[in-house]
Amino acid sequence: MRKARPLLVLAAAALLAACGSRSPAPAEDSSGALEGPLVEQRWNLLLVGTSERLSMPETPWFELDREGRLVGSDGCNEMRGRVRLGDSQRIEVTELATTRRGCPQLEDAARVTAMLETAYRYLIDHDRLVFFGPDQRVLGGWRQAN
């Protein structure tokens, strides 16, 4: 039953997105800084797609600060980039760059960065974050770190 929970959460998230659920748009304060549940949180990779877990040297993660800067790790390399948030849970990751350290799982690390680069929308359900591509497919899921 434990394996089914992440898949159920992602399936429910996909259903909610397909039904056009809307949450408040991320806000900018008067200085132009980002606010919202995605900002100033650490997100650890949970799944790629709807069910695949990756075994990496370190857990892939990212954080987004109030100025729209993304920092994190793809499991092998440090990542840095820029993020814009928009209405209807829109997200756009740009200028994503990684260090190039040697790592036996470079292909999986590239899948993590590709997920971020192609993310089009997101949905947050409690401590879970799901990214969707422009075609509405689930790209992957992340869990809020405690």
Confidence of residue 5 (pLDDT cuts 50, 70, 90): low
Fold type of domain 4-144: Lipocalin (2.40.128)
Instruction: Give this prediction's pTM.
Output: 0.78
Quick check: 47 pLDDT over 60? yes
Structure confidence by residue, pLDDT tens digits, 69-81: 999 999 999 999 9
For residue 85, the cross-strand partners are 91
Confidence of residue 36 (pLDDT cuts 50, 70, 90): confident
Instruction: Name the average pLDDT for the chain.
Output: 83
Quick check: 121 pLDDT over 70? yes
Confidence of residue 26 (pLDDT cuts 50, 70, 90): very low
Quick check: 62 pLDDT over 80? yes
Q: What ranges do the domains of the chain cover?
A: 4-144
The CA distance from 8 to 126, in Å, is: 14
Quick check: 100 pLDDT over 50? yes
Q: Which helix (H) or strand (E) holds 126?
A: none
The CA distance from 83 to 34, in Å, is: 10
The CA distance from 45 to 113, in Å, is: 11
The CA distance from 120 to 29, in Å, is: 23
Mean pLDDT of 62-67: 96
Quick check: 143 pLDDT over 50? yes
